[in-house]
């Protein structure tokens, strides 16, 4: 400093201006807060152009956070526009190169028709934000102060741009976040909807299942038939309310108990055996559809039921369900029908008897009419005098003849109803049995009946009417053979046994394997028959024959299995002579 006051004052003034400019430039950052890079560029150019009296100023902003690159140029005087920003930019960049570190602090170049001193300044430590180029025609450009201001401005712009970049990036991130949140929200909403649908479907399925279960439950609850399930051990798993009506057990009471409590004693072991065999072999010991068996109520009373079985496998275990219908009423109805049929049959027999009586009346009436007429004729011939005597005699002879005949008819009828005392001779019953069996051999063969005998060899002779006793044996044996006609499931076997019961009595038994009889006394009544074409006389005749021989005849029948007819006859030795 030479100490020249004007220069000094100039210098002070210049420095003061510089400080003012610096303050202005530093104030820019406040304006840039929150601004976008392009606004920053605008403000920077305007501020520097105004502050530093430049002729031109150029800025190039590289791509920042997705913002497009920006090139701007300002001239001090708009009319003096010498070239457009892009062309100038291209030239400027060629001049300065790409590496900010190699940039010259100032260079003199010609732009348009002017020579300009240009100063390039990088934005950012390595020019990563772009560059600023300030130009002035002044040759002393840039002065120190100008350089300072440019540098500070560039730094300020850099800070502002950095902030802007952060802001943009934040915005961008926020946007991205929003987008992601929105996307996630959409996805969640969709998932939610899906879930809702799924829930609805499941609920629907559950309802359908419940409704179907409900339906089945209602059916099972309302059924008139007892529906009882049991497991592989034969224990009851469930029973429906009808079980109460049919068996007298509360449905809850039987659960866990063996199924056999619903059966009479005699059937239990049979069921257990059959069930075990089924589990082991899969073979059913009875038909599973509508089989009729005997069941037992809680009070011990037995009754007929019709049972159908079903089987299902659940978790590897078999469950059996029985549908049990009480058929007592049906059975009773069938019985009642059978009874009324029997009554009808008897009524028919009685009608037949009526006809029989009518025919007997005719038999007697005819000779009687002849007798009366002949009697009248005889009287008339007698009253006619001697000429009529022969005629009268003839008429009288006819009266005798026809009267006898009427008597004979009456005798025949009486014989038919009342057996005359048997003509008694000594008889060997075994021999008689043999004779009758020979007579019936064909019949037995035809009906597939096996005849077996066990004839005692110590039988005493009986005194009796040979024909009548033959008739007795014939009736009893034929009855036995015919009784087995309905038997298809077991051998048809007729067994005849004779033995000396005691010194005074011989016993003969005739046993068949037929259906048995219900009333062992009724069968001996006249006109009682179970055969479609029977007269119901056979056993009645047998009884009267045995009675006439002072013996005894009776029948015994096991339930549904065969009948034994037995008769005893006194031996000859016991008959008082």
Partner 1 sequence: MSSQTPFVYVVDDDQRVREALSSLISSAGFRVATFQSAAEFLESEKQDAAACLVLDLQLPGTSGLELQQQLADGDAPPIIFMSGHGDVPSSVRAMKNGATEFLSKPFGDEELLRAIEAAIGLDRAARAKRSELAELQRHYNLLTPREREVLPFVVAGFANKVTAADLGTSEITIGVHRGQIMRKMEAKSLAELVRMTDKLGVPRITKPA
Binding site for partner 1 (CB under 8 A): 358, 361-362, 365-374, 376-377, 379-381, 384, 388, 391, 394-395, 398, 401-402, 405
CB 465 within 8 A of CB 424: yes
What distance lies between CA 273 and its chain's CA centroid? 28
**Least distance from partner 1 to the Cβ atom of residue 405, Å:** 8
67 DSSP β-pair partners: 64
Distance between CA atoms of 249 and 257, rounded to whole angstroms? 11
CB of 379 to partner 1, least distance (A): 8
93/501 Cα distance (integer angstroms): 152
Complex with partner 1: residue 325 or 398, whichever CB lies closer? 398
Q: What angle in degrees, to the nearest 10, is found between the helix axes of 466-483 and 429-446?
A: 30
Question: Least distance to partner 1 from the beta carbon of 354, Å?
Answer: 12
Of 348 and 390, which has the nearer Cβ to partner 1? 390
Packed helices 5-32 and 144-222: angle between N→C axes, nearest 10 degrees: 10
Minimum distance of partner 1 from residue 351's CB (angstroms)? 16
Q: How far apart are alpha carbons 361 and 355 in whole angstroms? A: 10
Q: In what order do the strands lie in the sheet with 236-239?
A: 236-239, 226-230, 317-326, 302-314, 291-296
What minimum distance in Å lies between the beta carbon of 374 and partner 1? 4
For the CB of residue 370, give the shortest distance to partner 1 in the complex, in Å.
Answer: 4
Nearer to partner 1, 112 or 375 (CB): 375
Instruction: List, in sequence order, the alpha helices (H) in 301-425.
Output: 328-383, 389-417
Residue closer to partner 1 by CB (options 264, 388) is: 388
Residue 508 and residue 477 in contact, taking contact as beta carbons nearer than 8 Å = no
Q: How far is the CB of 371 from partner 1 (least distance, A)?
A: 7
Q: Which of 27, 9, 11 is nearest to 149 (CA)?
A: 27
Q: Between residues 374 and 470, which has the closer beta carbon with respect to partner 1?
A: 374
Shortest Å, Cβ 364 to partner 1 = 10
Taking the C-alpha atoms of residue 201 and residue 70, their distance in angstroms, rounded to an integer, is: 59
Specify the residue, 65 or 396, whose C-beta has the smaller distance to partner 1. 396
Which residue, 372 or 441, has its beta carbon nearer to partner 1?
Answer: 372
- Rounded to whole angstroms, how far apart are CA atoms 230 and 324? 13
C-alpha dihedral (200, 206, 210, 213), degrees to nearest 10: 140
Angle, helix 5-32 to helix 37-52, in steps of 10 degrees = 170
Nearer to partner 1, 204 or 380 (CB): 380
Contact 229, 312 (CB under 8 A): no
| Cβ 535 to partner 1 shortest distance, Å | 25
CB nearer partner 1, residue 191 or residue 372:
372
Range list of H helices, 53-116: 85-96
* Residue 370: Cβ within 10 Å count: 17
| Choice between 64 and 377, CB closer to partner 1 | 377
Q: CA torsion 438→440→445→450, rounded to 10°? A: -80
Max Cα separation, the chain? 230
- Give the burial class of 361: count Cβ atoms within 10 A of its Cβ; 0-12 exposed, 13-18 middle, 19 or more buried: exposed
In angstroms, what is the minimal distance from the CB of 411 to partner 1?
A: 18
Nearest CB to partner 1, comparing residues 118 and 395: 395
Q: Which of 69, 407 has the CB closer to partner 1?
A: 407
Find the DSSP H helices in 384-491. Answer: 389-417, 429-446, 466-483
**Shortest spacing between CB 409 and partner 1, in angstroms:** 12
Kindly state the smallest distance separating residue 353's Cβ from partner 1, in Å.
Answer: 16
For the bound state, the minimum distance from the C-beta of residue 543 to partner 1, rounded and expressed in Å, comes to: 34
Q: Which residues pair with 292 in a beta bridge?
A: 306
Of 307 and 377, which has the nearer Cβ to partner 1?
377
Backbone angles phi, psi at 562, to 5 degrees: 75, 160
């Amino acid at each position: 400093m030479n100490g020249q006051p004007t220069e000094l004052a100039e210098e002070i003034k210049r420095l003061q201006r510089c400080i003012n400019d610096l303050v202005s430039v530093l104030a820019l950052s406040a304006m840039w807060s929150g601004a976008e890079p392009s606004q920053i560029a605008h403000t920077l150019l305007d501020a520097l152009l105004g502050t530093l009296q430049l002729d031109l100023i150029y800025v190039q902003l590289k791509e920042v956070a997705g913002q497009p690159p920006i090139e701007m140029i300002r001239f001090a005087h708009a009319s003096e526009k010498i070239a457009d920003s892009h062309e100038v930019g291209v030239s400027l960049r060629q001049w300065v190169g790409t590496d900010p570190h190699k940039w010259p602090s100032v260079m003199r170049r010609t732009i348009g028709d002017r020579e300009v001193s240009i100063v390039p300044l990088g934005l950012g430590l390595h020019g990563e934000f772009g560059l600023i180029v300030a130009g002035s025609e002044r040759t002393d450009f840039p002065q120190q102060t100008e350089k300072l201001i440019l540098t500070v401005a560039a730094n300020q712009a850099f800070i502002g741009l950095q902030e802007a970049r952060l802001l943009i990036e934040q915005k961008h991130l926020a946007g991205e976040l929003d987008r992601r949140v929105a996307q996630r929200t959409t996805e969640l909403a969709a998932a939610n909807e899906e879930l809702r649908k799924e829930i609805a479907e499941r609920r629907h399925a559950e309802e359908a299942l419940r409704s179907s279960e409900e339906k089945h439950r209602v059916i099972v609850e309302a059924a008139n038939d007892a529906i009882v399930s049991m497991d592989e051990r034969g224990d009851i798993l469930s029973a429906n309310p009808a079980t109460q009506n049919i068996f007298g057990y509360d449905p809850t009471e039987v659960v866990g108990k063996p199924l056999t409590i619903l059966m009479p004693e005699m059937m239990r072991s049979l069921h257990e055996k059959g069930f075990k065999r089924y589990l082991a072999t899969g073979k059913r010991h009875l038909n599973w559809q509508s089989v009729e068996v005997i069941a037992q109520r809680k009070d011990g009373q037995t009754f007929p039921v019709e049972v159908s079985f079903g089987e299902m496998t659940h978790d590897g275990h078999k469950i059996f369900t029985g549908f049990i219908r009480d058929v007592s009423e049906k059975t009773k109805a069938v019985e009642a029908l059978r009874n009324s049929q029997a009554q009808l049959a008897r009524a028919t027999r009685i009608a037949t008897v009526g006809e029989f009586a009518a025919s007997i009346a005719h038999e007697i009436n005819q000779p009687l009419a002849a007798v009366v007429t002949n009697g009248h004729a005889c009287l008339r011939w007698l009253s006619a005098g001697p000429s009529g005597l022969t005629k009268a005699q003839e008429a009288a002879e006819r009266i005798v003849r026809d009267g006898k005949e009427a008597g004979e008819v009456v005798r025949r009828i009486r014989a038919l109803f009342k057996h005359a005392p048997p003509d008694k001779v000594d008889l060997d019953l075994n021999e008689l049995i043999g004779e009758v069996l020979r007579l019936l051999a064909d019949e037995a063969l035809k009906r597939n009946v096996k005849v077996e005998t066990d004839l005692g060899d110590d039988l005493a002779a009986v005194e009796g009417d040979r024909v009548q006793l033959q008739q007795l044996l014939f009736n009893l044996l034929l009855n036995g053979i015919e009784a087995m006609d309905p038997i298809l499931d077991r051998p048809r076997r007729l067994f005849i046994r004779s033995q000396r019961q005691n010194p005074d009595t011989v016993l003969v038994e005739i046993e068949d394997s037929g259906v048995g009889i219900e009333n062992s006394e009724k069968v001996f009544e006249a006109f009682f028959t179970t055969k479609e074409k029977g007269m119901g006389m056979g056993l009645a005749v047998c009884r009267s024959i045995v009675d006439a021989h002072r013996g005894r005849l009776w029948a015994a029948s096991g339930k549904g299995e065969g009948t034994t007819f037995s008769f005893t006859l006194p031996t000859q030795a016991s008959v008082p002579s």
